[in-house]
Each structure stands twice: as structure tokens, then as C-alpha cells.
Amino acid sequence: MTITWLGHSCFALESGGYRVVIDPFQGVEGLPDTSTEANAVFCSHQHGDHAYTQGVRITEKFPCPFTVREIATCHDDKGGSLRGPNTVRCFTAENLTVVHLGDLGHRLTTVQVEAIGPCDALLLPVGGYYTIDAPTAKTVAEQIHPRVIIPMHYRFGSHGLPAIGTVENFTALYPPQQVHMYDTSTFSLTPDTTPQVAVLAYGK
């Protein structure tokens, strides 16, 4: 399975020629609005920086190789009273599961962790302010136990929402040998992929 970071919290997952786009965005400082194509698009919630479906051109549909499961969560730690609901999605194909946490705003309950189940790659917000911050993100990752963690929803240089933190706030919480800095935006997930924190490069 191929995972491509399109910026912010937007990813493309590809398996068997089928392409899914998750959380397309508009209005994120320093980043052009999402402009891509896919066979299907999913949004964790309806804020503009996660639900710009107009930026995704839907191509010819054919049987989807992904099994998709949804877990209801909240965009804040006040039961959704501040920012509303958030949907965690688990995408499974090729006997591999990728979990996209959207704008999760809290630690997970035991019931939510059990609903997520085994995870090969976790797409994890780490920037804080609008979602979980770096220490809480590490706690959530420890709850889920993925083999691979791919950080998202953080600021880098002039790119990203000004109020959120950088990825370094998160990677500093891990041993350096566990953090892999890639010079590409695409990651190939296989059954043999080694455990790691994978920081992908934007736009490469």
C-alpha cells in the first residue's frame, strides 16, 4: 500500500490502482488548496481545512479494495462542545490497516481503542491548539500501538496554521534512531516495514 502526504492532514492511500483521498483542505497558510483526483474521498469533519471536496476530482469508480471502518470521536476534550465531532477512519487493504485520526482532540477511551484495533500505520495529528498536542499525541500512539507513525497537522516554515506547533515538538519525544526523515512525500507500507516515526517531505 502506498501512503502519500498531500499537506496538512490530507493523504492519498493507493492499493490495486484504487486511490482514496482523506481530508482535502483549503485556506491553510502557505499551502495551495488541495487539487488532486481520486476514486473516493473521505472527510473526518466538515471544517474547511479538512473537507474541501471540491478540490478532488472523482475518477472512474470500480470495486474498492479498502474496507473502511469509522469510530466516532470529538474535535476537542469537552465532548465536542467546542469544535464538534470527529471521525476516525481505519482503511484496510492488502492485510494492512492505516488509521487516520482526523482532528482528534482527546485521548481515546478503551472502547475507542478496541474499535480501532490493530494498526500498521497511524496518521497522527501532533500540532496542538485545534487538536491534540505533541505529548498527548504520543500517549494516543501508545494507546493504539502502530508499527509506523506518520505525523500530520503541524506547521513547518511558512506552511501550516500559525497557532499550531512544529513536528519537532513531537519527534523530540522519541529516540533519534526511531525517527526517519524522508525526502519524499510517499511512503510504501508493507508487512515488513520496520517500526518507526516517519516524517514525510511535503510536495516531493
CA dihedral 103, 37, 115, 134 (to 10 degrees): -30
Q: Please give the average per-residue pLDDT across 7-15, as a whole number.
A: 97
| Residue bearing cell 496538512 | 8
**Quick check: 33 pLDDT over 90?**
yes
Mean pLDDT of the chain: 95
**Quick check: 110 pLDDT over 90?**
yes
Q: What are phi and psi of 68, to 5 degrees?
A: -120, 125
| Residue bearing cell 470495486 | 63
Query: Structure pTM?
Result: 0.96
Query: In 10 A of CB 129, how many CB atoms?
Result: 13
DSSP 160-192: S-TTS-BTHHHHTTS-GGGEEE-SSSEEE--TT
Q: How confident is the model at residue 83 (pLDDT cuts 50, 70, 90)?
A: confident
- pLDDT score for 203: 85
- For the stretch 58-77, pLDDT in tens is 998 789 999 999 999 998 88
Number of H helices, E strands in the chain: 3, 14
How many whole angstroms separate alpha carbon 34 and alpha carbon 61? 20
* Domain ranges across the chain: 2-199
Q: Could you say which DSSP state residue 103 is in?
A: T
How many whole angstroms separate alpha carbon 187 and alpha carbon 190? 10
- pLDDT score for 109: 96
How many whole angstroms separate alpha carbon 3 and alpha carbon 45? 21
How many whole angstroms separate alpha carbon 122 and alpha carbon 119? 7
- pLDDT score for 79: 84
Question: Is residue 82 helix, strand or coil?
Answer: coil
- pLDDT score for 98: 98
Query: What CATH number labels 2-199?
Result: 3.60.15.10
Q: How confident is the model at residue 114 (pLDDT cuts 50, 70, 90)?
A: very high
Beta bridge partners of 186: 4
